[in-house]
Structures are given as C-alpha cells and as structure tokens.
Amino acid sequence: MQHDSKRLDAEGCARLLQVTVEELHSWIRQRQFADPSGTHDGRPYWSEKRVLTWLARWDPSSGARIPITFWPPASQPAEYLEAEEIDQVGVAVRWRTAHGLLYLFWHHRGWGHHTLDRAQRRLQDHAAAIVKVDPDFSHHGPSLSAICPSAPGTYYPSWPQLAQVIGGPIPFWPAGARTNELIKRWRPEMGTAVTLAVAEPDPVPLLRMAAVVEPGFIRDTLINMAQVIQHQATEAARDNLRHVQRTADPSTYVIAAEPMETPAAGRDDIPEDMRRATWLEVLRRTDILAQDCLRVARLWNGGKDLPASRALTFNADTPQAREWNTRLTRCPRNALIDILDPHHEATETLVDPLTDTFVVRKGETLTAAVPVRLAASAPLAELILADPIWVRTADGVLYPAPQHPVSGIGWGYPGSGASVLARLINHLLKDITAAPASPSETPPAGLISLVTKAWPPGTVLTREQLQQACDTG
C-alpha cells in the first residue's frame, strides 16, 4: 500500500473516500474538506496524502482504512489493554486509541508476511490497525510492517510514527527475550523484566542427560555445550538491545525485558578428544534422550564434535563396499542408528569395529555415518575414486574417506567437492588421523589438477601419485 502525492480531482477524492461526488462538493462549499494542494488548468486538485490526513482528523472511526502514518498525534497516551496470543506464533499487544484498537504484533516463529496475514485473519474484525515488528532496524528504530484491516496491501510506518499515535513509548522485547508469556504479563507500570534468553536449539536435553550420567568428562562436556548455547543466546539478545538503543529515540521506547547474566563459555573449554569421546558414548545409548541430545548437537553446529560427520548412502554391491562389509558386525539400535533409519526400515544394523562407524542396510544399499577422522595408525597408501571415495592404508585396511561435516568430496569437475577432496588428501598425506581441512584453506594446485580430471569410477590413485601432485602445487 503506497499513498503518494499523485493529483486527485474531486471525483478521485470521492472515490478514495467512498462517498458521492455531491457529498464531496457539499463539504468543499462548506469549507469542511481539506484545502486543495494546487490547481491545474484552473481546477483544484488534492494529493492522496492530504485527503487521508484530513479524513483521519475529520472521522476518527475511519482508522481501519487509513494507515497510521496519516493519523494525527495522540493528544494523550492511549489506553493499554491486555495482550492477545495469535495462533501460537506470537502475541499482539494492543492499545485503545481515538481511531480504534491498534495491535502491535510480536512474533517468535517465522519472519515472513504470512505471520502478518495470520494476525490479520484473527484481528481484522475489530482492529483499526495491525502493525508487526520486523527483525531488522531502520535509522529510526525497529522496522515495522502494517496493514489496514479494511484496505488491501502492506505499508511500512516508522517506529516514531507508531509512538506518536499511541502517545507514548513502545515496549521493546529483544529477540531472545521475547516469549508469549513474558509479553502477555507486561503492563506499562512495570519495570524491565530480567529473564533467561531463549536459546535455539533448546539445550535442555543436554542438561537432562548431564543429570543422569556419572560425574566426569561426559557430564562436563554436555554442560559446557549447554552453557555455550545459552551464553551465545544471551549475547544475541544483548546485541538486539544495542541495536534499538543505537537507532531509536529514547523517548519512543521502554525496554520491557533484558536477558539475565550468564557465564561466558567456549567450546574449547573442553579438550577435543573429550568432546568426541563424550559423543561416542551418547551415540551408543538406546534411549530417546540420547536422540534428543544428538539433534541439539546437529542443529547447533552441524555436529562438529560428533565422531560421524555426515550420512552417505551407497550401493552395497561394489568391490570396495563388499570388502568393507566383511568386517562389519551386527549391533543393536542406538541414537545414531535411529537418526540414520528413522522409520525402522533397515534389514540390518551394523558397526565397523575399527572405527565405530554405524551402518544400516536396506536391501542393496548401505547408509553409513562416515567419521570425521580415520581411526588408523598406518599411513595413507591409496585413494580409490568411487561412490563413496575410499582410503586404503599401508597395512591394507580399507576405510570410507573421512568427510567434512558440511562440504562433500568429489572429483572430475572444477567445483567445491574437488577442492574439499584436494584439501583432505593434503592433510591425510601428512597425518592419516587428520580432520577435514577448513574450507578457507588453499590446497596445492597439483592436487586440484589431479582430482578435477575425469577419472573413471574405480580409479586407484597411489600415495606416490598423490604426493607427486602435492609437491608440484
């Protein structure tokens, strides 16, 4: 919805106001209507802005079809009413103004226009204005989207304009300290509520698991991850508060809630070997709580501390898969297998005893949770370009190549997969237990040239070939 300064004649004004031309001319004769913006060819004209500003002052009951940007400033503070929950996606705080009920919608689930549409469907029968707080900021405070319940389209008032029409400061809840219950409990006479920031993902499963394991490194690791998640949620909420304090006039807002202090914590507070050992033990568990913890870890950072980086599904009837399959042993279902096979369709649940790689078989396919690192002691002997890519060590043992948690590996094209593979080869030549390299690392040019060639599936690249390519980069 845009109301510009285009010229309207008397007939256009009548259409905009939804009245007859005769009524409009009567208002003009009695000097009740807005003064013209100018004349053209000897005839008066008006801008839409001038007409709507006049209508808002002349007929306050027309507020539902006039953007609040045209409402006159409130002569006194609007009456604050109880907040109303909207379909479990947010809460609308509301005021009774001279133009009707004004709703300010704070939402916690989704940022698209669909949330405003849902608020409109719920509130349009009795709202004069529906305004939604958006996640970003303008030069004048939080960004807003709004609708007129009795007119189509979306418009974008400013934070100061909203404060002006309610005649006072607007309560502000920072992201992370914005819950339905907290907003519904607020009243203008209340001070700033201090609350625990809402963390995503919810670290509660980690704390529950920590409560049921014996004291030791597993408990310490789980509590540390929960603290890291919570601390970062607190800092995000504080950063959101800093944004409103930098952009908005202090007279236009009051801080309705702020996050409580939480101790700083970092992932590296726990050594890497302890983190990985912790998650190996969690993955071996068969309870639902272990699955919940695994989901938190994957949502939080892609599962960087998990012994398995990503799941690969491949044909079980290839030479390498058949060779690897000979050392797999049956195992009971556990948290990781439940993630690999959520619908319990597997014909076998297996584990590689050398690497603790869990595998599910479904007919002629295997799905494996491929490790981040190889549990090997002998150096790299060869790389086999197949689906998946395989590594053989000098003692003859075959392993699925370790995988980066985010970026997959590939060959035969000048893309990211080949670059990730080149970085991996460069690391494995130096240390067979190395983790996949950072995506920002530049691999030797010779390795890039080698792995971007269109090698046929099943090609074996020896250590000598790999080292020579590395040395020529």
Each residue's pLDDT tens digit, 346-391: 999 999 999 889 999 999 999 999 888 888 999 999 999 999 999 9
Sign of the alpha-carbon dihedral angle for 227, 228, 232, 233: negative
**How distant is the alpha carbon of residue 155 from its chain centre?**
25
Determine the pLDDT at residue 111: 46
- 130: CB partners within 8 A, 6+ apart: 92, 103, 105, 116, 119, 120, 123, 124, 146, 147, 149
Sorted by sequence, the CB contacts under 8 Å of residue 452 that are 6+ apart come out as 411, 412, 413, 414, 418
Beta bridge partners of 314: 366
Local confidence band at 463 (pLDDT 50, 70, 90 cut-offs): very high
Percent of the chain clearing pLDDT 90 (strictly above): 59
Strands (E) in 169-213, as ranges, are 170-172, 193-195
The type of residue at 303 is G
Average pLDDT over residues 72-91: 88
pLDDT at site 471: 87
On whether the CB atoms of residues 396 and 326 are closer than 8 A, the answer is no
Q: Model confidence over 308-352: pLDDT tens digits?
A: 768 899 999 999 999 999 999 999 999 889 889 989 999 999 999
The mean pLDDT value for 444-448 works out to 93
pLDDT digits (tens, 9 = 90+) for 7-25: 889 898 888 888 898 888 8
State the Cα–Cα distance between residues 183 and 195, nearest whole angstrom.
12
Q: What is the mean pLDDT of the chain?
A: 89
pLDDT in tens, 230-271: 999 999 999 999 999 999 999 999 999 999 999 999 999 999
CA angle 467, 468, 473 (to 5 degrees): 95
Whether the predicted pLDDT of 174 surpasses 90: yes
Provide the angle, in degrees to the nearest 10, between the axes of the packed helices 416-430 and 463-471: 100
Residue 128 CB neighbours (<10 A): 26
- In angstroms, the CA 197 to CA 260 distance is 7
pTM of the model: 0.75
pLDDT of residue 24: 86
Sign of CA dihedral 217, 222, 228, 231: negative
Would you say residue 109 has pLDDT above 60? no
The larger pLDDT score, comparing residue 95 to residue 303, is at: 95
Q: Evaluate whether 371 touches 310 at the Cβ level (below 8 Å).
A: no
Query: In the sheet where 308-315 sits, what is the strand order?
Result: 308-315, 365-371, 357-362, 348-352, 329-330
Query: Using CA atoms, how far apart are residues 240 and 62, in angstroms rounded to an integer?
Result: 36
User: What is the residue extent of each domain of the chain?
Assistant: 7-58, 79-168, 307-371, 380-471
Q: What integer pLDDT is reported at residue 438 of this predicted model?
A: 67
